[in-house]
Chains A and B, each alone.
Chain A
Amino acid sequence: MSDITEPNRTGRDIPPIAISRTTTEVNPTGSWKYIQPRYEDRVAPCNAGCPVGIDIEGYLYLLGQGRTAEAAALLLEENPMPAVTGRVCHHPCEDGCNRANLDEPVAIHSVERRLGDIALAGPAPTPPETLRDERVAVIGSGPAGLAAAYHLARLGYRVTVFEAAPEAGGMLRLGIPEYRLPRAILDRQIDRIAALGVDIRCSTAIGRDIEWSELDEFDAVFAAPGAHVGKDARIESSDAAPTIRAGLEFLKEVNAGARPALGDHVIVVGGGNTAMDCARSALRLGSVVTVLYRRTPLEMPAIPQEVKEAKLEGVGFQFLATPAAARVEDGRLLGIECQRMELGPPDDSGRRRPMPVEDGRFSMIADFVLTAIGEDCDLAFLPDGVEITGGVATVDELCESTTARVFVGGDAADLPRSVADALGSGKRAALGIDQWLREQAGEDPGELDVAALRFGASGNVSIARKRGTDPLHRAAPVNEVVEFDGMNPVHFKPAARNEDHFHSAGDISASFGEVNFGLSDREMSDEVERCMNCGVCNRCELCLIFCPDMAIHRREDGEGFEIDLRYCKGCGLCAAECPRGAMAMSREES
């Protein structure tokens, strides 16, 4: 390179690299396309699976953005008591979580609990500025009644709640032990509903303390009395045995503060949550407890976590066994004769029917037997025109009964018996009552399209979507649940689920203190980060990164993106790369 012929310096401007002289904006590549992308939110399976109708994906998104107050507001739009459900709900939201296909479902209930506690610490809600004239009576202050009261009050109605028990809460207070739901949490959650202007009258049972006719002054009635009558276990007994009792009655006593001595050996009959609550409460009163269940662990209706905790605490289980006869001597229970069962063909519930095994008798020592095989409703107080079928009221999807002005919900309607289903029922009743009262007032509220308010085809309704009060102001999604196959999982890293922290099971005797401590703040944000925001744009910007034409831009209002169709050539990379299935391609519209 020593002998270099110098170039002729003619003044030509040749850049050192191949770079276009003009901007590439002169080439509108959008003219090449025949299909084009669009942003289109769909429904996350958690939302579709929530009986309350909570926009779970929405509040997880807001938490992920650090918008905690808005997340709490969105949660409270649909759920009047997240600090309660975060503790006691059976969280079917987690069953459908697409994350399970990657590693494990997001611990939604743990996040809800934490966010619920954060909301409890915030300022109490206030009644709407303008109230309507109509008054609504709510019978029962359980989750269904309180949810209806909450939503009706927020819609501007004057609500009075009649509660038979001395304190509000219904089954939340009477049926659920304190170690699962501390009373301070329940009290504060109910106080916030009262703060909306809801008048809660305790120790006021219809038909006992006041007559149905006294409700005539109300423009509408919502009856949610719950299911308080324990089913009879039909244990044969030659002699009256005072220590064979309905488990629910026992729970009510304990939950009211009594600490009865049950004796050394307690048998709990049943496999549902009431049975688990009875067993764990009896354990705390110092007894050795065995649960007798006629099917196997697979068929148990109790929340699996409750069963797991019961086992950890020391509750024994006898599966495929049912009580047949009590052995009573001198009016004192000695034990019970049990019948060994086996599973036959499926029954109406889809579960395999238990059948007695020949010569399958055995006996167990018992000082006390608590039966928890289900509860019935006492609907005698309802007026005659309300049709009752199979022990529950006949109602439409917005809880309207066969009698004008009367709505029925919660356990008294044909629903799965859970806190979440009751809360969802109360919300639908509020919508139904609002619609009905507006029609009565001569307003024209238009047809209420309930299907359009549902998350997916079968999820519960969103009242925020009806009212337009969703802090995210998202457009209604395409009402189709996103499955894992419709997503692009390569963009998600495996991350283990954070499990709740539990009190050491070793020392629970005589203590009804809360056993589940939930998650730390750090663990909660890890769970929020694990959420894949199925079907919903969470502004991850992968579309923007992958667009080879730089045709995707952030919107100026910060809420998502816009596609510059002049340059989008319809390659579809954005929709293919979208991790959550929140984009779609379609033929170009002229």
Chain B
Amino acid sequence: MKKVMIGNHAVSWGVQRARVEVISAYPITPQTQIVEELSDMCADGRLPARYIKVESEHSAMAACIGASAAGVRTFTATSAQGLALMHELLHWAAGGRLPIVMADVNRAMAPGWNIWTDQNDSLSQRDTGWIQLYCETNQEVFDTTIQAFRLAETVNLPVMVILDAFFLSHTSEPVELTDQEIVDEFLPKRVAQYKLDPADPHAFGALVRPDAYMEMRWQQQEAMRETLTLMPEIDEAWAELTGRRYGAIENYRTEDAELLLVTSGTITSTARHVVDERRERGEAVGLVKVKMFRPFPTGALREALAGADRVAVLDRNISPGHGGIFAEEIRSALYDVPLEDRPRLFGYVLGLGGRDVTPAVIDSIVDRTWSADQAERQDLWVGVEL
């Protein structure tokens, strides 16, 4: 069934198809429509789940942790300050190895108060132990939400499904809503390895001494490592059923490219357009889209980027005092590439707080990247006027 819907509702429908059993959430712009639609689904019976109302995002995540620990499929959604308020519990979810799926609608952090998109909210949670998947289209949002549960429940790690505020959350696109039977085949009922059981009561999350703590962290890291190979496999399994695949990264017209753009989120769609135009003009420009940020697909990115002459990373985020976060991670990944294959890296910071990133903006970046010998500074800010 194909329906025209906003990105937020694509999340809701993904959750519905995934037969989620417990939802706990607190509203925040621009996420609210996700859980509004879900509460309607719970009320009218389209989704036989328990919807737990709470008084904050901290409580929402706490309720999800409880429910997930009880062995059921669990979902929440948030944005920006709401995600920041969850911070402590993001560690509890990941350290408890609970396969919670959360949608984060990327919104700039306040102050100044701003409801528009950038990636600093999710990237601030980089080290909490959550898998992070960035989406480009509403269809990808729907598909990724379903895939996220299978991924989370296979490796026992929580997954953040991330979409841009307004450019996806509030923009309508046609979405193929995969039939329930197909989703059921892809995503069976969750079977929890450990769960709260009154018949065999155990304490969860209690004291772990130095002699075992590091071993637990090792196992968490191994699960992340497993995810690097598992995520593309799950994506492929979904593609076999639906014909739609995305990959941890996607190479777009990268063959023999001398200049590669690296993007994530909706900037990717704009950048595809620019790449097509440049290719028509005979320029060797290509695009690498990064979907999975954690675990970081270091090997795949090295393979994709090594050999190119120049790499321009477009970061809709900033690590204050350092640079664009994707750019710095990629710079680090390329360090082990032999010097002769190592591209020159240009880290552009742009589009913060929802500022438009138009084809003209990306054109200017391409021109600038062609013309410079090397980046004159670590972070190249685009369009700042003072």
Contact = CB atoms under 8 A, between A and B. Distances in A.
A18 interface: yes
Contacts of A550: 198, 201
A270 to B, nearest CB: 51
Given A1-B295, A14-B215, A19 B156 contact: no
B97 A16 contact: yes
B202 A18 contact: no
Nearest to B208: A18
B202 A4 contact: no
Interface string B12-38: 000000000000000000000000000
A587 interface: no
Nearest to A7: B218
Interface string B209-244: 000100110111101110010000000000000000
Interface residues of A, number: 17
A17 interface: yes
Nearest to A22: B202
A305 interface: no
B289 to A, nearest CB: 21
A213 interface: no
A473 interface: no
Given A1-B298, A2-B299, A7-B218, A19 B224 contact: no
Given A1-B224, A7-B218, A12-B215, A17 B203 contact: no
Interface in A525-551: 550
Given A1-B224, A1-B225, A4-B225, A17 B204 contact: yes
Nearest to A550: B198
Interface in A14-73: 14-20, 22-25
A16 B156 contact: yes
Given A1-B224, A1-B225, A4-B225, A19 B219 contact: no
Interface in B132-162: 156
B201 A18 contact: no
B206 A18 contact: yes
Interface in B319-349: 336
Interface residues of B, number: 31
B112 interface: no
A17 B220 CA distance: 9
> Which one of A14, A15, A16 has the highest number of Cβ atoms from chain B below 10 Å of its Cβ?
A16
A15 B194 contact: yes
B203 A24 contact: yes
B179 interface: no
Nearest to B198: A550
A16 B220 contact: yes
B219 A18 contact: no
B95 interface: yes
Interface in B283-310: 295-296, 298-299
B205 interface: yes
A350 B223 CA distance: 80
Interface of B: 95-97, 156, 194, 198, 200-208, 212, 215-216, 218-221, 223-225, 228, 295-296, 298-299, 336
Given A16-B97, A16-B223, A17-B95, 19 more contacts: A1-B228, A14-B215, A14-B219, A15-B194, A16-B219, A16-B220, A17-B97, A17-B194, A17-B204, A17-B205, A18-B95, A18-B96, A18-B208, A19-B203, A20-B202, A22-B202, A23-B200, A24-B202, A550-B201
15 contacts: A1-B224, A1-B295, A2-B299, A7-B215, A12-B215, A14-B216, A16-B156, A17-B95, A18-B204, A19-B206, A23-B201, A23-B202, A24-B202, A24-B203, A550-B198
